[in-house]
């Protein structure tokens, strides 16, 4: 069950981001969330040094929001002819976040709980959808090809729920 207060804030954030985008594309949230505990700069300073360096080159039509539970990427997607193509920069950023977590732990960050990759969306009827697609521990190999495949499939699926 989703907390109604959180959901109202999520709808507002997504709607605000959508209004700042050109055209009639779709907004999805891609959340990298820690399974338990915190994943932000106070508790994972080594990881966030890497993430901040990567964010100097943010993907187009994306916004990164830092949360105590981990970063969230709001993505504006233009779907053309029924095909979805994620920007390479989005996949690279998500891959870098997972790798930064592992590197941060190697360099002294204490939280070690696995990260999960989640796709979320509010559809045209204002209904909330969420799909957990990957779970990555700090010792797991990070494969950008697998991330791209799983993320693309999940986003396509969540966009088709109407």
Q: pLDDT tens digit string along 64-73?
A: 999 999 999 9
Instruction: Summarize pLDDT for 73-98 with one digit per residue, the tens.
Output: 999 997 665 667 788 899 999 999 99
Higher pLDDT, 48 or 81: 48
Contact, 30 vs 147, CB < 8 A?
Answer: no
Tell me phi and psi for residue 18, to 5 degrees.
Answer: -60, -45
Query: What's the rounded Cα separation, in Å, for the pair 84 and 86?
Result: 7
57/158: higher pLDDT: 158
Sequence-ordered list of residues with C-beta below 8 angstroms from that of 123, at least 6 positions apart, any chain: 129, 161, 162
Phi, psi of 30 (to 5 degrees): -115, 110
C-alpha dist (Å) from residue 87 to 35, 59, 64, 67, 92: 27, 8, 15, 23, 9
Q: State the chain's mean pLDDT as an integer.
A: 91
Torsion sign across C-alpha atoms 88, 105, 50, 117: positive
Number of DSSP helices (H) and strands (E) in the chain, helices first? 4, 5
Give 162's pLDDT tier (boundaries 50, 70, 90): low
Helices 144-160 and 88-106: crossing angle in degrees, nearest 10, is 120
For the stretch 124-145, pLDDT in tens is 899 999 999 999 999 999 999 9
For 128, the 3-state DSSP assignment is: strand
Q: Is the pLDDT of residue 1 over 80?
A: no
Residue 73 is predicted with a pLDDT of: 96
């Amino acid at each position: 069950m989703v907390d109604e207060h959180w959901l109202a804030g999520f709808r507002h954030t997504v709607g605000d981001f959508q209004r700042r985008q050109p055209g009639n594309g779709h907004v999805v949230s891609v959340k990298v969330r820690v399974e338990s505990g915190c994943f932000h700069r106070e508790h994972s300073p080594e990881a966030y040094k890497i993430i901040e360096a990567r964010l100097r080159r943010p993907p187009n039509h994306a916004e990164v929001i830092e949360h105590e539970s981990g970063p969230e990427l709001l993505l504006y997607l233009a779907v053309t002819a029924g095909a979805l193509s994620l920007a390479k920069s989005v996949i690279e950023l998500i891959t870098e976040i997972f790798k930064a977590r592992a590197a941060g732990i190697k360099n002294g960050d204490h939280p070690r709980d696995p990260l999960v990759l989640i796709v979320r969306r509010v559809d045209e009827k204002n209904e909330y959808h969420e799909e957990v697609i990957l779970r990555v521990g700090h010792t797991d190999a990070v494969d950008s090809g697998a991330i791209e495949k799983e993320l693309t499939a999940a986003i396509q699926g969540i966009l088709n729920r109407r």
